[in-house]
Amino acid sequence: MTRARPAQTLLAALATMVAAWPITTLFVGGAWIDGTFGLVLLGALLGMAGRALDLPPMLTLSCQLIGVTLTVVVTHLHDHLDTSLPSALRALGADAHHTVTAYAAPAPTSVGVIFFIELIIAIIAITVDFLAVTGRSPALAGVPLLVEFVISAANSGGSLHPKYSFALGLAWLAMLYAASERSARDWSGLRARIPGRPSNPTALLGGHDFGPLTRTAGVGALIAALVIAGSLPAASQKFVAKGLARGAGSGATVGFSSDLDLQRNLTDRDQSPVLTFRTADLNPPPLRALIADNYAGDHWVPDRPSYLLHGDNDSPLQRWGTNTAPTNATPYTITVTQNSMPPPFVVAPTQVSSADFGGTSWSYDPLTTQPSTSRLQEDYSVRYLSQPATARPTSETVDPANFTADLKVDSSSASLINALVKKAAPSGTRFQKVTAIQDYFRDSGGFTYSLTLDATRKDPSGRPLDPISNFLVTRQGYCMQFATAMVMAARSIGVPARLGVGFLPGTVGTSGSYQVHQSDAHAWPELYFAGMGWTRFEPTPGVRTGLAPPYASPTVGSPESSAPRRSVPSARSSRPSDSASSAPRTSVGTTSTAGHPQLIWLLWVLVALLLIAAALAIVPLLARWSRRRLHAGHGAGDDAARVQAQWDDLVSRMEDLGIDPAPQVSPRSQEEHYRLHLVVGREGRESLHRAVDVLERVRYSGRPGPSDDLSAPAEDLLMRIRRGRSFRTRVAATLFPRSGRRAVRSLFVRRDRD
């Protein structure tokens, strides 16, 4: 049983699961956890079995890989274990790819995502098991663990909570500790005992007590690292951000402007949050600051409130005219704890039912229920109505007389809008049509979210296209373009529509509160349906906005509806960690405005270089390791054995340099052989002779002493040989030494003893 090393195996499996912990921040729900855990356990058990049976390491590894892969395939694709398997795999791949590229974290856990998470983590677990337990290099096993952790960290947007790094560090330390225990046990079964004390009082893993050093050094380093890192990033991130900000040309903080030039807000890199709020709503809606009904050909004109009613804290707001409340809705509250929106602007969700601004006097427009204040109120709470996935309009028709401004289409882009509607939503009710249009923008229409707009195209007559048409032609833009186009599309099929402007809910901080930054600025269409009132739709792709509102999602009732949105990384360039979350996952290039792709590429290049370096280092390291084993095998310390080991070392290093070892054994005949095969000049031959002389003396004189040492002549000889060899041979000797390749081969043969 000790040969199987169950304790180390389970620790390796545990460490893999701990490294996978941050993945919970990437996907909604934990549907993948059970399966992954089972597979990791399966890999560990197979590894233990292989070791218990003393199989060659590579055979054990193969068994683990095959066993785990088969299990994943059979559990997920048991209906496709025939010729349809490749296509089923492709479908899973496409599904995973779609989920990963279409959504910001946390994304829904689709079947494909679960499949690939399970497979990848299981493979990492096997790698960790192979390195740490079979290969006895727990330190090296940190590399796959780090890769697993960094993938999660890079994709999660922002820094992870320190608990993840802390847990992983602890798990890795436990692996190192277990290996140290093991090597202490391998050192000797004989153990000095302390009189009057049971033989094994405080050992953690049934082995040895390393004393308080364990806690002090291990946990101390962990905590110190977390504390120091906690004090570092502010400065460092600012540095990166400043560099980028200069490139973008907008360094100064820009307040929220009512001219609806959202791009300025979107590219803003100010790190201080505009707003911090908490809510029990798992899927908080965007926060609206103002509304626009009138599109003036190339820009929106914000509405001025026509009426302002004085607001009473916590009493229901009046609704006038078309501002009807949804019939099927759940009330939620957001509590703003920090607010820096310049008055009179106050952000609040679309369907406000009541509000509490403390001592500050406030008012609201009964036509929109949009509150406003006269002076800045730092903290306030707003109660709002959130419509569930099942919300549907009670009637498809509205009276156009009530919505003249909200049904006015932009004439210059009307033809393209009509064509789009015809293509995206050829049939169905109006609600189905607008949902289809929304999905067309988000997903199937081939639109790309980008903060930079493509160059303005020209129409057949040579005139520059209007902004909406240009967007529909170039299919590239940010929320403002998407929202405007959708408003026009909705209006063209008779659905009243207007533009809401405000902020996405931002990012969830460690304390569970949301932080909204300038760069979270957002615009969206609000469409009127009877029974639903003014209802938000979300045509901007998921990479920026996360999931569509539940009632407008094609998969009604799916877990996606509870997924909070994440702001798009490229817009939040001052937080470089965001950038990695989107870049590898979006097929669309996030733009040069942000300047992040280069950094992301740098990261990937770095990772690739590290991997290449690690791969290149393996063979020479193995060579060195086998040489050291040679020393140990001779029971170093005994002078004769030491010199013999030095000689064997010299022979194997000469072999690395392409000089075959002598077939004969006696020192003199070996010297003759090497004299014949070496071109090293007189000094080299002298070194060879000196080395052989020492070897001979030690072998035959019987009383070797510590002064017998052939390392100096051996080094001299090797230096001379190396000088005489071609560059290629030297590189090959360094990178792929024969002794290393032999050591690699030896991995494939059965060990003599465990």
Partner 1 sequence: MARASATGRRYARARLTARGHALVAAGVALTVAGVALGYGDIIRVGLFLLLLPLLSVLLASRREVQLQLTRTIAPVVLRPDEPAPVRAVFTNRSGRASRFGAAQDRIDPSLGDRPRYTLPSIPARGTAVVEYTVRGRARGMHTLGPTTIEHPDPFGMCSADAVIPADDKVLVLPQTFPLVRHRLPYASGGEGDSGHSIALHGEQDVSIRAYVEGDELRRIHWAATAHRGELMVRHEDRPAYKHALLMYDARASAHRIDGAYSSFEWTISATASIGLLLHDLNYQTHLLGPEMLDQERYETASSSAEILRDLAEADECDDGMHAQVLAQAARTVAGGTTMVAVLTDRPAAGLRQVAASCGRGAVGIAIIVDTDAYQRDSDSEGADAVAVAREFQGSGWRTVVVGPRTTIPTAWRSVAGTAPVGEGMR
Binding site for partner 1 (CB under 8 A): 139, 142, 146, 149-150, 153-154, 158-160, 162, 164-165, 169, 173, 176-177, 179-180, 183-185, 187-188, 190-195, 208-211, 213-214, 216-218, 220-222, 224-226, 228-229, 232-233, 236-237, 240-241, 575-577, 580, 599, 602-603, 606, 635, 637-638, 699-700, 702
- C-alpha 599/C-alpha 570 separation (Å) is 12
Phi and psi based region of residue 706 (left: phi greater than 0; alpha: psi -120 to 50; beta: remaining): alpha
Q: Least distance from C-beta 693 to partner 1, angstroms?
A: 17
Task: Provide the pairing of β-strand 370-373 with 497-503.
Answer: unpaired
Q: Least distance from C-beta 314 to partner 1, angstroms?
A: 40
Q: Least distance from C-beta 199 to partner 1, angstroms?
A: 9
Give the torsion through C-alpha atoms of 644, 645, 649, 655, to 10 deg. 50
Say which DSSP state 464 is in.
Answer: B
Residue number with CB closer to partner 1 (237 or 452): 237
Q: Phi, psi at residue 528, to the nearest 5°?
A: -100, 125
Q: Least distance from C-beta 633 to partner 1, angstroms?
A: 13
> What is the SS3 string spanning 162-190?
HHHHHHHHHHHHHHHHHHHHHHHHHHCCC
Q: Least distance from C-beta 629 to partner 1, angstroms?
A: 14
Quick one: which H or E segment has residue 336?
strand 330-339
Q: Least distance from C-beta 397 to partner 1, angstroms?
A: 53
Quick one: which H or E segment has residue 477?
strand 476-477
Residue number with CB closer to partner 1 (575 or 653): 575
- C-alpha 507/C-alpha 577 separation (Å) is 13
Residue number with CB closer to partner 1 (149 or 551): 149
Residue number with CB closer to partner 1 (220 or 358): 220
Q: Least distance from C-beta 429 to partner 1, angstroms?
A: 48
Residue number with CB closer to partner 1 (44 or 160): 160
Residue number with CB closer to partner 1 (191 or 751): 191
Q: Least distance from C-beta 581 to partner 1, angstroms?
A: 11
Query: DSSP of 698-731, one letter per residue?
Result: HHHSS---TT---HHHHHHHHHHHHHHS-HHHHH
Q: Phi, psi at residue 595, to the nearest 5°?
A: 75, 15
**What would you measure as the largest C-alpha separation in the chain, in angstroms?**
116
Is the link from the previous residue into 106 a cis peptide, with omega within 30 of 0?
yes
- C-alpha 274/C-alpha 612 separation (Å) is 44
Q: Where are the alpha helices (DSSP H) in 506-595?
A: 542-545, 576-582
- C-alpha 699/C-alpha 430 separation (Å) is 98
Residue number with CB closer to partner 1 (42 or 178): 178
Residue number with CB closer to partner 1 (682 or 703): 703
Query: DSSP of 400-453, one letter per residue?
Result: GGGGTGGGPPPGGGHHHHHHHHHHH--SS-HHHHHHHHHHIIIIIT--EE-SSP
Quick one: which H or E segment has residue 472?
helix 467-474
Cβ 166 vs Cβ 226: under 8 Å: yes
Q: Least distance from C-beta 622 to partner 1, angstroms?
A: 14
Q: Which residue has the tokens 């001979």?
A: 696
Q: Least distance from C-beta 211 to partner 1, angstroms?
A: 4
Q: Least distance from C-beta 602 to partner 1, angstroms?
A: 7
Q: Least distance from C-beta 466 to partner 1, angstroms?
A: 40
Residue number with CB closer to partner 1 (159 or 313): 159
Residue number with CB closer to partner 1 (27 or 164): 164
Cβ 306 vs Cβ 349: under 8 Å: no
In the three-class reduction of DSSP (H, G, I as helix; E, B as strand; rest coil), residue 506 is classed as: coil
- C-alpha 320/C-alpha 366 separation (Å) is 5
Residue number with CB closer to partner 1 (65 or 603): 603
Residue number with CB closer to partner 1 (249 or 702): 702
Give 661-664's long-range contacts (Cβ < 8 A, gap of 24+): none
Q: Least distance from C-beta 160 to partner 1, angstroms?
A: 5
Q: Least distance from C-beta 223 to partner 1, angstroms?
A: 9
Residue number with CB closer to partner 1 (397 or 511): 511
Residue number with CB closer to partner 1 (239 or 748): 239
Residue number with CB closer to partner 1 (167 or 657): 167
Q: Which of 319, 315, 295, 316 is nearest to 307 (CA)?
A: 319
Q: Least distance from C-beta 173 to partner 1, angstroms?
A: 6
Residue number with CB closer to partner 1 (173 or 341): 173
Residue number with CB closer to partner 1 (97 or 185): 185
B/e letters for 457-487, b = 16+ CB within 10 Å, e = fewer, are: eeeeeeeebbbbbbbbebebbbbbbbbbbbb
Q: What angle do CA 611, 615, 616 make, to 5 degrees?
A: 115
Please enumerate in sequence order all residues whose Cβ is within 8 A of that of 532, keeping only pairs 6 or more positions apart, or say none: 326, 327, 387, 391, 392, 393, 394, 551
Q: Least distance from C-beta 667 to partner 1, angstroms?
A: 13
Residue 154 in tokens: 């890079």
Say which DSSP state 662 is in.
Answer: P
- C-alpha 349/C-alpha 412 separation (Å) is 32
Q: What angle do CA 143, 145, 150 make, to 5 degrees?
A: 95
- C-alpha 130/C-alpha 137 separation (Å) is 9
Residue number with CB closer to partner 1 (192 or 280): 192
Q: Which of 70, 92, 90, 65 is nearest to 81 (CA)?
A: 70
Q: Least distance from C-beta 614 to partner 1, angstroms?
A: 10
Q: Which of 24, 37, 15 is nearest to 160 (CA)?
A: 24
Q: Least distance from C-beta 617 to partner 1, angstroms?
A: 10
